[in-house]
Amino acid sequence: MPEFKINDPITTDQADIEVTVSAAAPLAVGRHIFRLVVADDSENLSEPDEIEVIVLDSERPTAILEGPRTVAFGQSFTLTGRRSTDVGGGRLARFTFTLVG
Looking at the fold, whether 76 and 31 belong to one and the same domain comes out as: no
Range of the domain at 26: 1-55
Looking at the fold, whether 86 and 45 belong to one and the same domain comes out as: no
Looking at the fold, whether 65 and 50 belong to one and the same domain comes out as: no
Q: Which string of b and e fits 55-81 if b means at least 16 CB within 10 Å?
A: eeeeeebbeeeeeeeeeeeeeeeeeeb
Q: Which of 32, 55, 78 is the last residue of a domain?
A: 55
Looking at the fold, whether 99 and 83 belong to one and the same domain comes out as: yes
Looking at the fold, whether 48 and 76 belong to one and the same domain comes out as: no
Q: What is the pLDDT of residues 26-52, one digit of tens each?
A: 889 999 999 999 999 999 999 999 998
The total domain count for the chain is 2
Q: What is the pLDDT of residues 3-21, one digit of tens each?
A: 888 999 999 999 999 998 8
In this prediction the pTM is 0.75
Q: What is the pLDDT of residues 76-85, one digit of tens each?
A: 999 999 999 9
